[in-house]
Amino acid sequence: MHKRYLNGFTIVELLVIIVVIGIIATVSIVSYMQIQKGVRNDERTTEITIMANELEKFYAKNGEYPPGCPDASCPSAMHTTNVSSVAITPDTTLNTLRGILPGIRDDFGDPQSTSATLPIKNRTVLSTKYYYFGGTVNYTGLAASLSFETHENFPCTIQSSLAAGTVGSYVLGYFDEITKAWILKGGRNGTPMTVTAGTCVIVRG
């Protein structure tokens, strides 16, 4: 009676199989992470669109946008700040923001933020909060200029030059995880914000 021998895998074949499985797993993980980034970006786009619509409703009612600056000390120094609303700053809580713009979601905020109650960006935050700047009105008798200078965590200088009695627009945005760039939207009304230095692009309307 003859014995039958079954051929098994050699060590080299096993190593090849392990490497192939590793490559497939890596590709799957990277693809999954990109999908997750896309989902979060879609959520950001939705929230920013809703907030922009709420800002336009605010303008229709008040003739100006809420003032705002990504630095808590800005509003007190801005002689052009309007009085239709408290300023939207990094210290603005979600509850206060919803009081100004009631149509935004009750869980509004960047999906990766570790501070759900403070949704607005400040100078030290790169990608986990939303950016809001502008919305001023020049109540003085002279031309005025409002500027937020370039910072290491923000790639441009944004400015609004307002003639006496003019209403300013705003810039609103989020950090795109995939392109690693700030996506900025400008208001449809008022004197537009402009980029005076850096790489930002503002889409109006």
Digit-coded pLDDT (tens) for 69-100? 887 566 544 556 677 888 898 889 999 999 99
Which range in 3-12, 24-33, 161-170 is most confidently predicted, on average pLDDT?
161-170
Q: Can you give the pLDDT at residue 57?
A: 97
Q: Which two tokens stand for residue 168?
A: 């300013």
Q: Can you give the pLDDT at residue 184?
A: 94
Distance CA 190, CA 88 (A): 18
pLDDT higher at 9 or 198: 198
Give the predicted TM-score (pTM) of the model. Answer: 0.81
Domain residue ranges of the chain, discontinuous segments joined by +: 11-204
**Per-residue confidence band for 111, with pLDDT thresholds at 50, 70 and 90:** very high
Residue 204: partners with Cβ closer than 8 Å, 6 or more residues away: 169, 185, 186, 187, 188, 192
What single letter denotes the amino acid at residue 80? T
